[in-house]
């Protein structure tokens, strides 16, 4: 099997044309806690991917789930938004991304790790990496989701981040239910500081 990516919590392999996502053991965690956490995130990601498939949201199809540490998911051919944003029509891409975050939030799905490393440009923009996702209708949770995207843009796309975030919010405002409340909450969230979940921990 060919290793295609290794992050803080998972190794991704190419397996018969699909992607195997393995949440590997973390020896610095207490064994029982480590197993619970990896199993929880694996099951969580599987559950969200099924929900996304049901609403025809562009995300990988779930193929297998061992409920412990392995998911087999569809391989989305394309390029990471992280690697192509600057070189492309980023107004169009960010408008699309904002509209898609609105669709997630309108379905009470908080992504939990919105970054341009978790988006792939194929025929359209696909979202991946739902291990930190959860269901919520709270403006606070939606606002933090958007805030995390902003932090990621600032650090990875510092030349264009302000415009990118503006374009993202323009379409989010139009498409998301209760977007006024969420965006107002975002202002409050901005004043409070950093939020990024630490996956590796
Ligand atoms: N379904 C997929 N199709 C294509 N590439 C993928 C897919 N899932 C993951 N990848 C690649 O593997 C990387 C890591 O996967 P991800 O699910 O984001 O795990 P993590 O960030 O937790 O390590 C992604 O940034 C992407 O490059
Ligand atoms: Mg990721």
Write down the domain spans for the chain: 2-73, 79-190
pTM (2 d.p.):
0.96
Look at domain 2-73 and name its CATH class.
Answer: alpha beta
Assess whether 66 carries a catalytic annotation: no
Cα–Cα distance for residue pair 44/1, rounded to 1 Å: 25
Q: Residue 130: nearest ligand to its CA?
A: 1
Hey, what CATH topology would domain 79-190 get?
Transferase(Phosphotransferase); domain 1 (1.10.510)
Note the pLDDT tens digit of each residue in 123-180.
999 999 999 999 999 999 999 999 999 999 999 999 999 999 999 999 999 999 999 9
Q: Residues with Cβ within 6 A of ligand 1?
A: 5, 7, 9-10, 12, 19, 21, 60, 73-76, 80, 117-118, 120, 128-129, 199
Whole-number Cα distances in Å, 82 to 24, 107, 110, 139:
24, 25, 20, 27
- Encode pLDDT of 104-139 as tens digits: 999 999 999 999 999 999 999 999 999 999 999 999
C-alpha 72/C-alpha 155 separation (Å) is 31
Domains 2-73 and 79-190 share a fold: no
Cβ 193 vs Cβ 3: under 8 Å: no
d(CA 32, CA 100): 36
């Amino acid at each position: 099997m060919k290793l295609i990516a290794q992050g803080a919590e998972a190794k991704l392999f190419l397996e018969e044309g699909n992607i195997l996502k393995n949440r590997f053991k973390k020896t610095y965690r207490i064994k029982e806690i480590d197993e619970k956490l990896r199993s929880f995130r694996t099951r969580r990601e599987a559950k969200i991917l099924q929900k996304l498939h049901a609403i025809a949201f562009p995300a990988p199809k779930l193929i297998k789930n061992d409920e412990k540490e392995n998911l087999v998911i569809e391989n989305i051919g394309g390029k990471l938004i992280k690697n192509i944003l600057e070189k492309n029509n980023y107004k169009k891409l960010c408008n699309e991304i904002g509209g898609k975050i609105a669709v997630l939030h309108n379905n009470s799905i908080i992504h939990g790790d919105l970054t341009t490393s978790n988006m792939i440009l194929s025929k359209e923009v696909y979202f991946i990496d739902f291990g930190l996702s959860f269901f919520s209708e709270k403006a606070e949770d939606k606002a933090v989701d958007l805030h995390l995207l902003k932090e990621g843009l600032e650090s990875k796309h510092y030349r264009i981040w302000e415009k990118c975030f503006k374009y993202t919010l323009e379409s989010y405002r139009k498409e998301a239910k209760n977007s006024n409340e969420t965006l107002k909450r975002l202002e409050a969230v901005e004043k409070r500081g950093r939020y990024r979940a630490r996956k590796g921990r």
